[in-house]
Amino acid sequence: MDQGEVYFLKLNSGEDLLCQLVGDEEEYLFITQPYRVDLMQSTATMTVTTTIMRWIPFESLMEETICLDKKNVLTYMEVDDIVAMKYRNTISDQSKKEREETMDRLLRMSKLLQEPSSNTFGTLH
């Protein structure tokens, strides 16, 4: 397996993953940015669409190196250039969106901290 390339993994659990390989040892694969692959069928058009979503729900953990025991992997293969490009674009788009959302939250918090407090307490006589 080639480090840095995008792979499709079929796990024994039945889950399908797209991920980037960062290491391959005798008993373990080291991956990053794992996305679960799901098929969704439209009842209206009778078409099947492939979707990917984070395998781990936290962005900061998605960027960490994950150790995966090869005993849990049924099969794997390197994906073609088109799938790899779509995978990398998804990662880029989601990271950009999350950075923007984080900046928006920080700006709102900053504005709240700068506003004079509407809670005024009188003195007791």
pTM for the predicted model, two decimal places? 0.68
Of residues 52, 38, 46, the one with CA closest to residue 85: 52
- 121 inside domain: no
- 80 inside domain: yes
pLDDT score at 77: 93
- 125 inside domain: no
**Two tokens at 72?**
């849990």
Instruction: Dump pLDDT digits (tens) for 43-96.
Output: 888 888 888 888 887 777 777 899 999 999 999 999 999 999 999 988 877 766
Query: Dihedral, CA atoms, 102, 107, 110, 114, nearest 10 degrees?
Result: -170
Q: Which domain holds residue 60?
A: 6-106
- 82 inside domain: yes
- 117 inside domain: no
Assign residue 79 the CATH number of its domain: 2.30.30.100
Beta-carbon contacts of residue 75 (< 8 Å; ≥ 6 apart) = 9, 10
Residues 21/5, Cβ–Cβ less than 8 Å: yes
- 17 inside domain: yes
Q: Where are the beta strands (DSSP E) in the chain?
A: 6-11, 16-24, 28-41, 48-54, 66-69, 73-78
> 69 — phi, psi (to 5°)?
-65, 130
The count of domains in the chain is: 1
